[in-house]
Structure 1
């Protein structure tokens, strides 16, 4: 199955001010998720950003909300966005959910497992998820893959949404985001 721009939503999980510094490669993960958000904005991919207990963990990193001003931001106390019942109907109406964020083995994992249980096609962006340790990240990715989630990278997301060079945004996106060094 391919990601279909007209059937998908991007879900960014808990990339918050007080949580980011605890991640392995904090600046790298911020840069990669920002890049993904910028491309999603260019493509018009609907985007939802979750925040786990923002009173304690702070708001979403400003670099991300600046990159996706159209995104819907939702708060939660449960680890899973599904269990928290914070996801807007507009996200749940889509067949496909592209997921990135942190922590891979906790909030991302629980959300992905519950989205799969709802019958969603779930794509976890491997180079845009993080945990405090590489071993926890890998364990989370392995479990999600074993449960039926598709593990992809950022370029897979972009090229599957574009489907071909005939897409009206292909030239701009390839020049702006795909040429040269990526984060």
Structure 2
């Protein structure tokens, strides 16, 4: 199965101030998340972001906040973003394909992915855009998500599948602005 603009939603899980500072390669992962958000917006894919216990972990990182309308942010206390139901009430939350990025890979990202899969969603986890405090935990989480049916993909796989072909109206601007 390929990722399609009209079926996709980008889910950014808990890319928050306090988490970004403690995960391994947090700056790099955050940069990849921002890249994905900008590409999604360029091609018309909606973005939903979650914030886990924002009163303790802080809001989404400052670079992400201006990119999202308040209606695209779902607050949660459960590790899985699916558990409290707000994820599906967000704009475009009923889409079938979920492209997932965020923190921490072995906790909130993984539990959300497993629940999305259980509900019959097609899930794509962007390898370089997920992080954990311990790289070993990230590796185990990616393997477990893969075993349960998630596709582990790269950011460029996502972008080029959304674009479909070189004649797509957004192709040149995405190529110039995002593909190095």
TM range (shorter): over 0.9
User: Residue 27 of structure 1: CA displacement?
Assistant: 1.2
Asked if the contact 1:115/1:122 (under 8 Å) is kept, the reply is: yes
Gaps of 5+ in 1: none
Structure 2 counterparts to residues 8-157 of structure 1, below 5 A: 8-69=8-69, 72-89=72-89, 90-157=91-158
User: Residue 84 of structure 1: CA displacement?
Assistant: 2.1
> Which deviates the most, 150-159 or 91-100?
91-100
> Which deviates the most, 85-94 or 99-108?
85-94
Instruction: Name the Cα RMSD after superposition.
Output: 1.3
User: Residue 45 of structure 1: CA displacement?
Assistant: 0.6
Please give the secondary structure, in 2, of the residue aligned with 1:6. Answer: helix
Distance 1:161 1:71, change over 3 A: farther
TM-score w.r.t. the length of structure 2 is 0.95
User: Residue 104 of structure 1: CA displacement?
Assistant: 0.3
TM-score w.r.t. the length of structure 1 is 0.94
Distance 1:102 1:131, change over 3 A: same
Give 2:171's aligned residue: 170
User: Residue 143 of structure 1: CA displacement?
Assistant: 0.3
User: Residue 4 of structure 1: CA displacement?
Assistant: 0.6
